[in-house]
Amino acid sequence: MTEYKNRSMIQRRLIPSYIFLTIVSFISVFPLYWMITAATNKSVDVARGKIVFGGYLMENWARLNQLQDLGGAMRNSFVYALVQTILALFICSLAGFGFELYHDKKKDFLFGVLLMAMMVPGVATMIPLFKMMSKLGFLNTVWGFMLPGISTPFLIMMFRQNSRNFPIDIMEAARIDGLSEVQIFFRMYLPVMKATYAAAAVITFMNAWNAYLWPRVIMTDKKAQTMPMLIANLAAGYTIDYGVLMLGVLFCSIPTMIIFFVLQKQFTEGITGAVK
Amino acid sequence: MKHKSVTAKQERWGWLFLMPATILICIMSFYPIIQALFTSFKTGSSANMKWAQPIVYNYTRMFSDKLFMRSVGNTFLYLIIQVPIMLIFAILLAQLLNNRDLKFRGLFRTCVFLPCATALVSYSLIFKSLFATQGLINSILQGLHITSSNINFLGTAWTAKMVIILALIWRWTGYNMVFYLAGLQGIEYSVYEAAKIDGANGWKTFWNITVPLLRPTIIMTFIMSINGTLQLFDESVNLTAGGPANSTITMSHYIYNNSFGQGVANFGYASAMSFFVFILVAILAAINLKVGDTRD
């Protein structure tokens, strides 16, 4: 009896918390809800403040496809982000594996040097990288898009930190069994580190999909543009069709939203990954 | 210590494994930043650049360029107002969500975290539309009879800045909260129960237990946020287009305009300004190392 009373008293004291959290949750979710409803409404209705679903989705869809090559941009974004994710995971996990499981003083020093790349801002390297990419003929290609992003100190550090738990004794046993170092990486390290790969994949894909400054610099041809560039173009005109714009924003958000809801745990780990 | 049996052959493989990543970082980060330093001492269009006369011309120009100074001022304004508000909110939310008696914790956490799933361009455009002269916020304000006519939020300098700050808080609070939640999970829950028995109220527990124990996390998120704010670009370009009349432009946006904007390819001058940003970020990183060292 007293325990029950206690519990209801605790819940009563939490009422302010519930109210506060409900308001914050509402503010967090509402703009995204509004974006989805706006995609189904006529621009004038959106401007008038309509916040329920309407029946103008097909018209917005037709207009969006007439204004921009939506399919092309979706395909570009998918290809760029996917290629960048796969290569980044391979290169950075290989480095994390090397740095942690073969570590010595020299490698630790090199790791410290590489970490300094973390403080190089993208805006400072974009001009030299643009010149480099145009000299190599990589403008408007997936190469130009992903080369600056496939080896990052953040990912290397993430793999290195998470390799701490890798059972080193098994490596010795595997060597005695005749496995080469490369085989150890592919047959033992890769499966054991599955969780880290998943988290790293989610965060890399999201970052690549959402990138804006760098694609805008090197994707000079409209055919090569990404989704964030496409929706930015939609909003750049003098008069904005809000229904069409929000439908574009919705398409740009669908892949990341799906990842967020399905792989929220991996996403959280990806964000906090290297700081344990 | 544990790797005493690593033979020379294995040693070689170790180096081989980390080579691709190392070479890429050298080519994609270290080499370009050195290039940027050289370019910052040159003038002329991209095809035929010459050493500047005098050599520091771009740097002296930078400090007398009113527009660049304004972009520095804007960036720091966003930083000073937005970062503390956002971080306090994030800690507060994490503290509330760490309470085991709270129901629907998962749901609340997902909601607060949700803005992180949107691209920076996406949420900038959503806020641009919401705060348009003929937008939802104006409709609501008039519906509630708070205002009588449409406010041109994005066409007035100080309200445009406020919208950018609001948008940033909306997008990044949940992101930072995740770090604090992870940090709080490292704190023994019994500490809180002991405090409760001692009669400490929520506010006291917050200031006397949560904040001190989260200090390393707070420092880290603080540095991350400053770093991110110094490089603000997507919001300035897409939410306000730097306007009205460049009153909301950020450093990265101004540098972009000078290098890849319409018809200008002022690579030398842009490089000088971008090197200024690099130095700010580097100073920050140095402070980070200093503070990080003494945290134990």
Question: Tens of pLDDT along B151-181?
Answer: 889 989 999 999 999 999 999 999 999 999 9
- Is A192 in the same domain as A249? yes
User: What own/partner pairs with CB < 8 Å and gap ≥ 24 does B102-106 have?
Assistant: B102/A14, B102/A17, B102/A18, B102/A21, B103/A11
Is B101 in contact with A14 (Cβ distance < 8 A)?
Answer: yes
- Is A126 in the same domain as A19? no
- Is A86 in the same domain as A222? yes
Question: How open is the CA angle B259-B265-B268, to the nearest 5 degrees?
Answer: 75
Burial B76-94 (b: 16+ CB within 10 A, else e): eebbebbbeebbebbbbbb
Residue B195 CB neighbours (<10 A): 17
Residue B252's SS3 state is helix
- Is A25 in the same domain as A102? no
Task: Using alpha carbons, list the distances in angstroms from residue A183 to A95, A150, A175.
Answer: 15, 23, 10
- Is A50 in the same domain as A91? no
- Is A258 in the same domain as A232? yes
pLDDT for A77 equals 96
- Is A152 in the same domain as A249? yes
Q: What burial class does residue A23 get, using C-beta atoms within 10 Å of its C-beta: 0-12 exposed, 13-18 middle, 19+ buried?
A: exposed
Q: What burial class does residue A167 get, using C-beta atoms within 10 Å of its C-beta: 0-12 exposed, 13-18 middle, 19+ buried?
A: exposed
CA B33 to chain centroid: 20
Residues 6+ apart with CB under 8 A from B293: none
The closest of A91, A195, A232, A200 to A148, measured between CA atoms, is: A91
pLDDT for B46 equals 67
Number of separate helices (H) and strands (E) present in chain B: 15, 2
pLDDT for B294 equals 45
Considering A23, A39, A56, which residue would you say is the last residue of a domain?
A56
Best of B4, B24, B71 to mutate (most A CBs within 10 Å, chain A):
B24
pLDDT for A210 equals 93
Q: Does A128 touch chain B (CB under 8 A)?
A: yes
Question: What are the pLDDT digits (tens) for A200-225?
Answer: 999 999 999 999 999 999 999 999 99
**Which residue ranges in chain A fall short of pLDDT 70?**
1-5, 273-276
Residues 228-267 of A with CB under 8 A from B: 228, 231-232, 235, 240, 242, 245-246, 249, 252-253, 256-257, 259-260, 264, 267
Question: What are the pLDDT digits (tens) for B52-105?
Answer: 888 888 999 999 999 999 999 999 999 999 999 999 999 999 988 988 888 899
Q: Which residues pair with B50 in a beta bridge?
A: B43
- The span from the CA of B193 to the CA of B210, in Å, is 13
pLDDT for A5 equals 66
Considering A13, A28, A56, which residue would you say is the last residue of a domain?
A56
pLDDT for B21 equals 96
- Is A82 in the same domain as A211? yes
- Is A238 in the same domain as A193? yes
pLDDT for B1 equals 43
Q: Does A110 touch chain B (CB under 8 A)?
A: yes
Contacts of A124 in chain B (CB under 8 A): 32-33, 36, 271, 274-275, 277-278
pLDDT for B293 equals 53
Chain A nearest-CA distance from B147, in A, is 15
Q: What burial class does residue B281 get, using C-beta atoms within 10 Å of its C-beta: 0-12 exposed, 13-18 middle, 19+ buried?
A: buried
Is B29 in contact with A127 (Cβ distance < 8 A)?
Answer: no
pLDDT for B69 equals 95
Residue B167 CB neighbours (<10 A): 24
- Is A182 in the same domain as A234? yes
Residues 162-201 of A with CB under 8 A from B: 168, 172, 175, 181-182, 185
Contact present, B131 and B161 (Cβ < 8 Å): no
Report the number of distinct structural domains present in chain A: 2
pLDDT for A214 equals 95
**Main-chain dihedrals φ then ψ at residue B8, nearest 5 degrees:** -60, -35
- Is A188 in the same domain as A262? yes
What is the span of the domain harbouring residue A155? 63-272
pLDDT for B295 equals 41
Residue B211 CB neighbours (<10 A): 14
Residue B118's SS3 state is coil
User: Along the 296 residues of chain B, how does pLDDT read in single tens digits?
Assistant: 444 455 778 888 989 999 999 999 999 999 999 999 999 999 887 677 888 888 888 999 999 999 999 999 999 999 999 999 999 999 999 988 988 888 899 999 999 999 999 999 999 999 999 998 888 998 888 888 888 888 889 989 999 999 999 999 999 999 999 999 988 887 777 777 777 777 777 778 788 888 888 888 888 888 889 989 999 999 999 999 887 988 999 999 999 999 998 777 889 999 999 999 999 988 887 887 777 654 44
pLDDT for B102 equals 87
Domain B58-293: give its CATH code: 1.10.3720.10
- Is A138 in the same domain as A191? yes
Considering A34, A56, A78, which residue would you say is the last residue of a domain?
A56
Beta carbon pairs, A and B, within 8 Å: 275
